[in-house]
Amino acid sequence: MKPNMGYDRAITIFSPDGRLFQVEYAMKAVDRGSTSIAIKFNDGVIFIGDRVIPSVLVERDTVEKVFIIDDHVAAVVSGWIADGRALVERARLLAQQNRLRYGEPIDVDVLVREVCDYIQAFTQYGGARPFGVALLIGGVDKNGVHLYETDPSGNYIGFKASALGIGRSSALSVLENEYADGISEDDALRLGIKALYVANDGKVNPRDIEVAIVKRGEKARKLSEEERAQIIGGILESITGE
């Protein structure tokens, strides 16, 4: 008989040792996703997503891992991208409701808490499955620069820099060794690309990387394909030449 004795068949039932197997399986789905990285710098947050392009026939711009949520908030996802897109739409709705109700941008921590409360509900009630995705959500508000990591259980933790997906361990090793408080935007982008390069064993194509930047005093934006080719290509050349 299987060790879990069927406890993995229902989301609402704890195993005798206090585990929710469906939530753990959802976390495994996150670990199988392509690598995603986010890094705080002195005035904002950089988001980097490595897209999997399954065929030369695929239009790259239709494959998204990095999303702009509001003028001051963005996110990168890892795991089931469709689940991530649903949570991003939820976050966008919450951000716009806050603007209409209070006439100001939503605080990043409030947004993350609301999204995670929604995620957590799918671990508590029958008839639904957990979201098989994790997000790195960050931005700039009146309280400063923020970066949070969520998981399929509905938990969230603040980070200075973090990574998700199949290359998480290798990317985190680079980030832990080289990140410094007060890092500049250029240095943060270079560090993120280096972490992605190490996580992917050197197999990095600038065209397959998405980058978004949220910066104080500016609207959140994603780098164009031309910018990615020039900037990321230059960074990769410097990394390989080290």
The owner of tokens 């005035």 is: 43
Read off the pLDDT of residues 120-160 as tens digits, 9 standing for 90 and up. Answer: 999 987 778 899 999 999 999 999 999 999 999 999 999 99
> What is the average pLDDT score of the chain?
92
Q: What is the CATH number of domain 19-240?
A: 3.60.20.10
pLDDT at 57: 87
| Contact indicator for 172, 198 with CB cutoff of 8 Å | no
Q: Using pLDDT thresholds of 50, 70 and 90, give the confidence band for residue 81.
A: very high
The mean pLDDT of 75-89, rounded to a whole number, is 96
* Residues composing the chain: 242
Name the most confidently modeled range: 8-12, 59-63, 87-91.
Answer: 87-91
Q: Is the pLDDT of residue 4 over 60?
A: no
**Structural domain boundaries of the chain?**
19-240
pLDDT at 186: 96
Q: Look at the alpha carbons of 176, 80, 126, 4 in this order and tell me if their dihedral is positive or negative.
A: negative
pLDDT at 2: 52
Q: Is the pLDDT of residue 213 over 50?
A: yes
Read off the pLDDT of residues 219-236 as tens digits, 9 standing for 90 and up. Answer: 999 999 899 989 999 999
Read off the pLDDT of residues 19-77 as tens digits, 9 standing for 90 and up. Answer: 888 888 899 999 999 999 999 999 999 999 999 888 888 888 888 999 999 999 999 99
For a pLDDT cut of 70, what percent of the chain falls above it?
Answer: 95
Q: Is the pLDDT of residue 171 over 60?
A: yes
Nearest one of 19, 28, 221, 12 to 4, comparing CA atoms: 19
Q: Is the pLDDT of residue 3 over 80?
A: no
> Model pTM?
0.92
CA 234 to chain centre: 24
| Contact indicator for 139, 105 with CB cutoff of 8 Å | no
How is residue 199 written in tokens?
């996580």
